[in-house]
Amino acid sequence: MKSILVCNIFKHYTIKSIKKAFELSGYKVNERDYFTPEDIYHDDKLEGLIQTDIRSNHYDFIFTVNYSPIVSSICYKNNLRYVSWTYDTPMNLPSLETMDNPSNYNFIFDHGEYLKYKEEGLETVYYLPLATDFDAPEFSNNGYKYDVSLLGNLYRSTFPAIKKKLDEYQSGFLDGIITSQRKIYGSYFILELLKYQNSELESINKTTGFNLSPEQLSYSLASYITYMDRLSLLSIMSNRFSTALVTASITESERNMMTKLTVLPKMDYYKEMPLFFRMSKINLNPPFRAVWSAIPQRALDIMSSGGFLLSGYTEELSYYFENSKELVLYDSIEDAVAKADFYLKHDDLRLKIQTSGTEKVRKDFTYIDRIYKIINTVHGGNT
């Protein structure tokens, strides 16, 4: 039996399902828990631990959820194949160092991000959407607790701290970018704009004393826009419908802005989350704004659990799913509220879409299918 080493560095909750799928595919899986290094390129302690584990067994390949330059380097030195599958986008890699190691098989769930690396000339990247494996819990339609819900973080951004140090022109420049991007779904132009307007970024860094790269400022602005999106959605929804937010963190001022909102603590991914999705008539999925292309994990989990999905538009959600038949997509806050109101008044339509979405996800987005594609790619079709 072939065996693999799963290096659990980033502690992602889907590792349980991924490990199970590898085992069902005929692999012996040795899962090892490590720590997330501060320097993603070099950490002597982590390198030593992984090197020791590699020597203790013969592995077909090494696997991580999310790409690790450290693991890539170790595998390259040891003539071992390295397989990663990302769930974060953008990948937040300062450079392409190690990405072109010929021992790499880097599976990226975001098609836009995948194309970016392909255009850089990398032959070690592959496109692979995410998967889900929830079963819908037993549930009666009389058991709904909420009209609308959102499970996720509100996001915290460094932009307010940056803005305090800007002059009037610089503040207006960035506010204008934010206002424009908030109106657009299915495209994210901020990063390219900041790269093009390099003199503006240099001026901002000179004024603030920071040394922000285009990628860092872009991420800060994307986080802030996502925060504004979610705050606006929850504020309006909670004033019109019974609305719940499940989150690990919310401030007192945010609670005071949404006094009618039910706030619930973080839930167990496998034990509690699927039932919560079923207890909500409508499940919101406002994507992180830099994620303009990909299918978010949360969207798949909602549908797999038998929940109705109302999501912000992304290219791949629109490509893989039929809008208004398997899910419902919105392209503005106003559109989201109007569609929530419509589907809360039309139970038959909502339940039909809900059922179709669940059937589609369970057919086309399984871990077994994804892991088979990984194995098939690694072995060149000879599985």
pLDDT tens-digit series, residues 205-234: 999 999 999 999 999 999 999 999 999 999
Q: Quick one: tokens of 176?
A: 């204008």
Residue 213: other Cβ atoms inside 10 A: 14
pLDDT confidence of 135, banded at 50, 70, 90?
Answer: confident
What pLDDT is stored for residue 383 in this prediction? 45
What pLDDT is stored for residue 152 in this prediction? 94
What pLDDT is stored for residue 381 in this prediction? 60
**How many angstroms separate the CA atoms of 61 and 104, rounded?**
10
What pLDDT is stored for residue 141 in this prediction? 66
State the average pLDDT over residues 239-265.
96
- Cβ burial, residue 371 (10 Å; 0-12/13-18/19+): buried
User: Does 356 score more than 90 pLDDT?
Assistant: yes
Please choose, from the candidates 33, 13, 8, the residue with its C-alpha nearest in 3D space to the C-alpha of residue 271: 13
pLDDT tens-digit series, residues 5-23: 999 998 788 999 999 999 9
| DSSP class per residue in 301-355 | HHHHTT--EEEE--HHHHHHS-BTTTBEEESSHHHHHHHHHHHHH-HHHHHHHHH
Could you give the dihedral angle defined by the CA atoms of residues 273, 277, 278 and 282, in that order, rounded to the nearest 10 degrees?
Answer: 170
Opening angle at CA 163, ends 181 and 185, nearest 5: 10
Q: Is 65 helix (H, G, I), strand (E, B) or coil?
A: strand
Residue 283: other Cβ atoms inside 10 A: 27
User: Does 186 score more than 50 pLDDT?
Assistant: yes
- pTM for this prediction: 0.94
**How many angstroms separate the CA atoms of 238 and 146, rounded?**
10
Domains, in order of start, for the chain: 3-131+366-378 (3.40.50.2300), 141-364 (3.40.50.2000)
Which residues have a Cβ under 8 Å from the Cβ of 310 and sit 6 or more positions away? Answer: 282, 283, 284, 285, 327, 328, 330, 336, 339, 340, 343
Please choose, from the candidates 115, 103, 108, the residue with its C-alpha nearest in 3D space to the C-alpha of residue 86: 108
Sequence-ordered strand ranges (E) for the chain: 3-8, 28-33, 61-65, 82-85, 104-108, 125-127, 146-151, 243-246, 262-264, 280-285, 309-312, 328-330
User: Does 199 score more than 90 pLDDT?
Assistant: yes
| % of the chain residues with pLDDT over 90 | 89
What pLDDT is stored for residue 151 in this prediction? 97
Q: Rounded mean pLDDT of the chain?
A: 94
What pLDDT is stored for residue 93 in this prediction? 82
What pLDDT is stored for residue 380 in this prediction? 82
